[in-house]
Amino acid sequence: MTRSPGHRGGPRGRRPVRGPRWCRRGPGRGRTWRRAYEAEAAADARGPVPDGTGQHRAAPGSTGMILPAGRRTRRYRPRMGAVRGVRAVLIDVDGVLTVSWKPLPGAVEALRAVREAGLGVALVTNTTSRTRASIAATLADAGFPVEAGDVLTAPAATAAHLAERFPGARCALLNSGDVEEDLAGVNLVGLDADGVDVVVLGGAGPAFGYEALDRVFGHLRRGARLVAMHRNLYWRTDAGLRLDAGAFLAGLEAAARVTAEVTGKPSPAFFAAALGRLGAGAGEALMVGDDVESDVLAAQRAGIGGVLVRTGKFLPEALAAADGAPDHVVDSFADLPALLARLRPVR
Ligand SMILES: [Mg+2]
């Protein structure tokens, strides 16, 4: 297709370009859209960040809002109310505060600063290898100001979900890690038991062998319900990315023609439970994570401001392919106090 100067193509055909860039959406879009497009034009002028992510530099003194290249015009929607007046912060653990349970640089100091600023803090993790008490003890030993009551795990959310949805059901657990303490009250039976009502899928690891997965498939074919703690496809260790349960879950769902009920992130109920614990509304909270889908965009769909860190499992290609843009992208959790200082209203 040939295009004459002053026209552009696209699904709506050739339309003349009139006036500056923010006008192209048409008249009457309001000041918010105008500000957004002026900010976009300014980001274009500053040029891309030289890190291969295709992102553009944030304005000096800005909130750090950086929009993925090629998706900014179509997907960006200003949500000013979601990130102003922050009172609470939900924080992912693995890949944000730690990798392989070792603190990331500056993370301990940053969490202390967030505490000292008086914000509510909840650690919301899909970790399925340790109990809440074990996670809190490990983080506290590393210097993080954390207690067990601050930690919400996918296994604990799963126990609450099972008690509500399937009270007394015979539940077969497939999980690599020791989380049975957080599943107190759940009627657990072995994977090789008969009459299983619910299969509970936790985190992947050596337990996810063929025999175990085939037993799960058999239970599902006989009518058992499927509850999954999360859909994470991979996680980061100090030895690199490792395959997680989401990859196995997709295969089981396809083979047995079922859809799992997910209890950890990205479940809206998981975020709601964390907000309820802190007594904060979604519009008063930020979620900080390294998984653009399960942490950040899922939180944003629940009305929570989303902050993506470039540590842990962060991959530029995952951000570029994501079905939306984070409210904020920062290099690491160490940058959170400065971001919060810019977002909190001056009293
Ligand atoms: Mg993580």
| Residue 119 three-state SS | coil
Beta bridge partners of residue 87, listed in sequence order: none
Q: Are residues 237 and 285 in the same domain?
A: no
Q: Give, for 273, the enclosing helix (H) or strand (E).
A: helix 268-278
Q: Supply the CATH number for residue 294's domain.
A: 3.40.50.1000
Q: How many CB atoms lie within 10 A of CB 78?
A: 15
95-to-101, 235, 237 alpha-carbon distances in Å: 9, 8, 8
Cα 347 to middle of ligand 1, angstroms: 34
Q: Are residues 184 and 229 in the same domain?
A: yes
Number of domains in the chain: 2
Cα 77 to middle of ligand 1, angstroms: 25
Answer whether 0.95 is exceeded by the pTM. Answer: no
- Given pLDDT bands bounded at 50, 70 and 90, which one contains residue 85? confident
Cα 68 to middle of ligand 1, angstroms: 20
Beta bridge partners of residue 200, listed in sequence order: 173, 227
Which of residues 245, 262, 279 is at a domain's end?
Answer: 262
Report the alpha-carbon distance of residue 121 to residue 268 in Å, rounded. Answer: 18
Examine the pLDDT at 18 and tell me if it is beyond 70.
no
Cα 223 to middle of ligand 1, angstroms: 33
Q: Looking at this protein, which amino acid is placed at residue 234?
A: Y
Q: Are residues 270 and 226 in the same domain?
A: no
Flag whether 195 is in a domain.
yes
Cα 235 to middle of ligand 1, angstroms: 7
Q: What is the overall mean pLDDT for the chain?
A: 81
Cα 205 to middle of ligand 1, angstroms: 17
Q: Is the dihedral of CA 35, 37, 43, 48 positive or negative?
A: positive
Cα 264 to middle of ligand 1, angstroms: 12
Cα 107 to middle of ligand 1, angstroms: 14
Q: Are residues 193 and 110 in the same domain?
A: no
Q: Are residues 179 and 327 in the same domain?
A: no
Under 8 Å between Cβ of 118 and 341:
no
Cα 96 to middle of ligand 1, angstroms: 6
Under 8 Å between Cβ of 253 and 201:
no
Cα 180 to middle of ligand 1, angstroms: 22
Q: Are residues 258 and 172 in the same domain?
A: yes
Share of the chain above pLDDT 90, in %: 69
Under 8 Å between Cβ of 106 and 262:
no
Q: Are residues 224 and 311 in the same domain?
A: no
Q: Are residues 272 and 323 in the same domain?
A: yes
| Residue 25 three-state SS | helix
Cα 167 to middle of ligand 1, angstroms: 30
Cα 26 to middle of ligand 1, angstroms: 40
Q: Are residues 233 and 179 in the same domain?
A: yes
Flag whether 144 is in a domain.
no
- Summarize the confidence of residues 48-74 as an average pLDDT: 40
Expressed as residue numbers, the domain containing 287 is: 86-126+266-343
Q: Are residues 249 and 186 in the same domain?
A: yes
Which of residues 213, 236, 262 is at a domain's end?
Answer: 262
Flag whether 2 is in a domain.
no
Flag whether 218 is in a domain.
yes
Report the alpha-carbon distance of residue 56 to residue 53 in Å, rounded. Answer: 9
Q: Would you state the pLDDT for residue 36?
A: 43
Flag whether 47 is in a domain.
no
Cα 83 to middle of ligand 1, angstroms: 21
Report the alpha-carbon distance of residue 43 to residue 160 in Å, rounded. Answer: 45
Structure tokens, 50? 């030289």
pLDDT digits (tens, 9 = 90+) for 170-195: 999 999 988 888 898 999 999 999 99
Which of residues 209, 240, 262 is at a domain's end?
Answer: 262
- Summarize the confidence of residues 85-97 as an average pLDDT: 95
Flag whether 335 is in a domain.
yes
Cα 327 to middle of ligand 1, angstroms: 17
Flag whether 204 is in a domain.
yes
Beta bridge partners of residue 288, listed in sequence order: 91, 307
Cα 270 to middle of ligand 1, angstroms: 15
Q: Are residues 236 and 305 in the same domain?
A: no
Beta strand ranges found along 111-222 (DSSP E): 120-125, 151-153, 171-174, 188-189, 198-201
Cα 140 to middle of ligand 1, angstroms: 18
Cα–Cα nearest to 91, from 137, 129, 130, 125: 125
Flag whether 330 is in a domain.
yes
Q: Are residues 193 and 208 in the same domain?
A: yes
Examine the pLDDT at 14 and tell me if it is beyond 60.
no
